[in-house]
Amino acid sequence: MKRIYVNEEWCLGCHMCEYECMFANSGLDEMFKLKGRTGEFIPRIQVEGGEKAPVNFAVNCRHCTNAICVQSCIAGALSKDDEGMVRIDRDKCVGCFTCVLVCPFGAIMPAPDGKTAQKCMLCTDNTAGEPNCVKHCPNNAIVYEERG
């Protein structure tokens, strides 16, 4: 299965991936309409390292082989699909955030409603088709490909 991988040497720390993630999952038709509304959306990818940090890199769900979030979910809301993607069913999620407690990458977070969790589903749950963060990364600091 194709996953998102990080080339930290190439990350500019520009946060475009975060904006593109918010946009792809916002349901809005134009990026500029996010202006003034970014508080309503929370990106599922997060750039680490501030301006003074020696390095920047983006982190989102690794779709782990033995995903501890899936094993820990109290509601059965997290599951692995046949391809290996970790999915969240937000109708089942009760917002206990046990997944936040166990994800070793810090890649699951509360959704904007605060009552459920959200995570990267590789843009299969919106109209972007392919991961929008990767598509718009200006420097190939994140890539979407098969790796061992």
- Residue 59, beta-bridge partner list: 46
Closest contact distance (angstroms) between CB of 12 and another protein is 16
DSSP assignment of 24-65: HHH--SSGGGGTT-GGG---SSEEES-TTSS--EEE-----T
Enter the tokens of residue 41: 């959306």
By beta-carbon proximity to another protein, the closer residue of 127 and 140 is: 140
By beta-carbon proximity to another protein, the closer residue of 25 and 60 is: 60
By beta-carbon proximity to another protein, the closer residue of 27 and 65 is: 65
Q: What does the longest C-alpha to C-alpha distance in the chain come to?
A: 42
Q: What is the binding site for another protein (CB under 8 A)?
A: 3, 5-8, 48-49, 53, 55, 57, 59, 62, 64-65, 68, 71-76, 91-92, 94-106, 108-110, 114-115, 147-148
